[in-house]
Structure 1
Amino acid sequence: MEGVKKYAICGVSKRALNMFVGPILSTFSTTSKIVGLLDSDTKRFEICKDTYPSLSEVPEYLPNDFAQMVTDTNPDTVIIASRDDTHVTYIIKALEMGLDVIVEKPMATTGEDCQRIIDAEAKSEGKVTVTFNYRYTPIHTKIKELVLEGKVGRITSIDLNWYIDTYHGSSYFQRWNRMREFSGGLSIHKCSHHFDLVSWWTDQKPVELFAYGALNYYGAEGELNPKKEDGRFCGTCDVKLDCDYYRRWNSRSETVHVVDDHINNKNVGEMHNEYTNYRSDQCIYDSEITIEDTYTATIKYDKGALLSYSVNFSLPYEGYRLAINGTKGRIESTEYHIKERVPFPTEVQTIDFFPLFGSKETIHVVHKEGGHGGADPIMLEDLFLGVDPRRTYTIQSGAVDGAYAVATGEAVWRSVQEKKPICIKDVLSVSKQSV
């Protein structure tokens, strides 16, 4: 069809199916077409085509067949939603073949790999787009607009405290994310979201940081571990009813349906039949876990702002508390994410603006339907229909933005390990031309 862009999917994950495949086949079917599927697990192809029968004739490829897939299907863009550590390989191969790339965040798992991507993009006709969907949440875009309007003046400091609840937080320790070699740790896999938001809101890049981190809740020394034994799975565990994390979201007689943007409304132990030789209901107390669940960091930015940041992956509710301070005033906002999982009444999120001299102003933002607080549908329109020409500021993230977010996360981990401040330039060397 004339004018239709062709997409190849690398990583036929749940994320890929829900975020990209489903919308392409429905909302964006007149402008977009899926021409190839690539994954290391052939079972994922079966699940994809059972879910979307219209893809039954789309060819399937294994990771080593990337070049053959491009030759056979001639895509315009490669969408990458595979395991985090594999992103860099597919991105660079696509760029070397002159293709555009849409990649799930984080863009890669190390600053070194991010630099490789930037260098490859500089030599390619293709470009990289990183799907930082948090930028598109209506509350977040309004905060960006208030900053651009000069409401707070020159930004001097930011306080951002992020809370991940016991359902979402524990899920990372059941899945591949729990291995640093695959995810880079949660300071990259998850926190890069938050670091990108701060850089985008403030139009400032991180320069240096100091951080602390720890594994407080999960792993072999987790205080609530009902039994010290490796290799267990929630679906077959003989002590799961003694596990507070399991019992919080499940009863003895049934699994309670839990809403979640990130893991497709799946419940503990429910997804283990969807992969070959892999289960996503691994025990959160296994000794093989190599990542942290708690971080605090102080970050200095290139235009003088200072960020005080914390994140905790085992809390009673999910959300964040934000404050942006400037020479003319202060912005505050508190979010309770996925209200169905918050065990107390919550109000609709607003933005409070406090001028340095004057009266408080409460801003009510029009909230929208869709994943991640209404962000996903808006982001997908930019991806598959082109960037909204009526928007007066940049919102799509490219390779340099993706690199700074990852480099900040890696610097957090390095600071935790080395017990000293880390300069971002030592993690990521971005050329002036790239910036």
Structure 2
Amino acid sequence: MKKYAICGVSNRAMGMFLKPMLTTFRGNHKPVALLDSDPLRHRVCKQLYPECADLPEYGPDDFDRMVEETKPDVVIVASRDDTHAGYILKALEHGLDVFTEKPMATTAEDCRRILEAEKASKGKVTVTFNYRYNPIHTRIKEMILEGKIGRVISVDLNWYIDTYHGASYFKRWNRMREFSGGLSIHKSSHHFDLVNWWTGQRPVEVFAYGALNFFGPEGELNPSRRDGRHCTTCDERSVCAYYRRWATRTDDVSAKDDHIGALPLAGKYTGYSPDMCIYDSEIKIEDTYAVTVRYDGGAMLSYSVLFSAPFEGYRLAINGTKGRIETQEYHELSRIPFPVPEQTIDYFPMFGSKETIHVERRPGGHGGGDPALIEDLFLGPDPVRGYPMLSGSADGAYAVATGEAVWRSVKEGRPLRIAELLGIMPEPQPQR
């Protein structure tokens, strides 16, 4: 029986990890401890999952005592982003394995500390990059491994976050770089990890432009320059385009957190508000990026992300020496006010006819990725797959360092080298 301590009793922790432990995998896996800075989160968890009624509760300063009293084998980290590194380092000190939500940390320096600590520990860090497990993304990886497009030389990736989802980041703690690392880390680390995994290459150098176009006090749709407004009580919400798009006068949809929905008592969590004004002056992070990344295998990435778009989804093209892969996804279909096509993969051999590939979909979050990831975590990697999918600490570090290089490049107006941020010697360039 493998035992787990949960650090950060978030909705993600409960739905992604705790629920499977109590149901599908209950024979060999069980939670033994809950740790959170807010006792109300423990209460909500035990209301939702009565099976956890007797689980001991701990605060952030009780980590060592928790380990001594409950003797977990694995620590699951699903707390606020800026707290991840502290819990991971503590777990490694005790020789424990770690499953951590992305991002692994909010700074490259903390990633470096984790990498060093893992080398000295019996424990191993796994970063739960679930987007690798989306069936479309998995098939793209397989096509590259099969040599369909030869050596990958360039990637074009344009990501769009719609006005509902995008605004939600600016209503919550995510809007503070000291808590989230900024959206180039909190969100884009997902995307950078996908590119790293698809190409089988590691990022070397990053240059980026970025701006705050939609949110913050200079947002063009800001009804007036005032701090401290909240959607549920704002006297200007009738003239706020973001509010009016998703709410009526009697149905306050916009005040619901995009990740916790109608979770009981969630709006009363200590220090947590999901409806802060998207135009507050404390907002300093960027909502728009255009990025270029160079990789150690010769590939180049052209990446952009927009956090206030008319629809949610992405456009992807991967070019190789023998062909090209293209796909386009429209996400959150219930929020798109026009018909969209089925997502397929288009394969263009360098010399030959285009092929369109239809990929079988799976139920579950992130396009079916979440259930497959959980199986690998609790059952071990699928022995039939034949290639690695679970992400380790190095994967987490390169994704975070790329995100940090993005926002630092914006601020400093220069390219950033990943080795400079992670404090490692760059790998030798392949001979051409």
> TM-score, normalization: structure 1?
0.95
Cα deviations across residues 213-269 of structure 1 (Å, max 9, x unaligned)?
010000011111112211111111111121111111111122459999x614459xx
- For the 8 Å contact 1:215–1:293, the answer to whether it is kept is yes
Offset of residue 54 of structure 1: 0.9
Give the equivalent residue in structure 2 for 1:141.
138
Give the equivalent residue in structure 2 for 1:127.
124
- For the 8 Å contact 1:100–1:127, the answer to whether it is kept is yes
Give the equivalent residue in structure 1 for 2:174.
177
What pairs up with 1:36-435 in 2 under 5 angstroms?
36-256=33-253, 263-265=259-261, 273-430=267-424
CA–CA distance in 2 between the matches of 1:72 and 1:259? 37
More displaced, 273-282 or 201-210? 273-282
Cα deviations across residues 307-363 of structure 1 (Å, max 9, x unaligned)?
000000000100000000011100000000111111111122100000111100000
Give the equivalent residue in structure 2 for 1:14.
11
Give structure 1 regions of 4+ aligned residues with deviation exceeding 4 angstroms: 256-260
Q: Could you tell me the percent identity over the aligned residues? A: 65
CA–CA distance in 1 between the matches of 2:15 and 2:238? 31
- For the 8 Å contact 1:209–1:412, the answer to whether it is kept is yes
CA RMSD in angstroms, aligned pairs only:
1.8
- For the 8 Å contact 2:175–2:182, the answer to whether it is kept is yes
- For the 8 Å contact 1:219–1:289, the answer to whether it is kept is yes
Structure 2 unaligned residues grouped into runs of 5+: 428-432
Give the equivalent residue in structure 1 for 2:430.
none
Cα deviations across residues 96-131 of structure 1 (Å, max 9, x unaligned)?
101000000000011110010000000000000000
Offset of residue 430 of structure 1: 3.8
Number of residue pairs matched by the alignment = 427
Offset of residue 290 of structure 1: 2.1
Offset of residue 15 of structure 1: 1.4
- For the 8 Å contact 2:163–2:311, the answer to whether it is kept is yes
More displaced, 18-27 or 30-39? 18-27
Which residue identity is paired with 1:118? L
Cα deviations across residues 370-410 of structure 1 (Å, max 9, x unaligned)?
00000000000101111111111010000001000000000
Look up the SS of the partner of 2:297 in the other structure: coil
CA–CA distance in 2 between the matches of 1:124 and 1:205? 24
CA–CA distance in 2 between the matches of 1:103 and 1:374? 19
Structure 1 unaligned residues grouped into runs of 5+: none
Could you say if the C-alpha distance between residues 258 and 219 of structure 1 is closer, same or farther in structure 2, counting changes exceeding 3 Å?
closer
